[in-house]
Amino acid sequence: MTASNVFAQDPADAEIIVIRPAEATGTKQGLPNFHGISGKNAGAQHISMNKVVIPPGGAAKAHKHKGYETAIYLIKGRVKTLYGKNLEKSVVNEAGDFLYIPPDLPHKPINMSKTESAEAIVARTDPNEQESVQHVAEPDAE
């Protein structure tokens, strides 16, 4: 089923799209990503949803999502997220936590384990997912 078949004249004639990602791809954030739902592969108009993996001891590049909200469900691991102006704030989350990141908020998730990956499901109000990603300066990167 193609994305063009998702929306039909009659909503009862629309199709359910199933995405079963076989392998991870890279992201602007520098993390492995399993592509789930997007405008490109499912015809989504206002949402994307993916599985992201933070390798042991790994971290994303500091970034923000220009104009888009993000919701995250942490499946596995403990993650410290630096956020805000100059990434001066932080929050620690563990498996089972839901997070909400407002549009344009700089953030940088860091896997707190040196031996196990952290995994999360990430939903964003951007159907193109990576289009809104913008890197931000990190305080120690100067």
Domain 23-141, what architecture?
Answer: Sandwich (2.60)
pLDDT attached to residue 130: 62
73 and 118 in contact (C-beta within 8 Å)? no
Over residues 51-60, mean pLDDT: 94
Question: CB count, 10 Å around CB of 87?
Answer: 18
Q: What is the DSSP letter of 10?
A: S
Q: Which residue has the higher pLDDT, 46 or 11?
A: 46
Whether residue 45 has pLDDT greater than 80? yes
Report the C-alpha gap between 82 and 36 in whole angstroms: 25
Q: Is 130 strand, coil or helix?
A: coil
Dump strand ranges (E) for 84-132. 89-94, 98-101, 107-111, 118-124
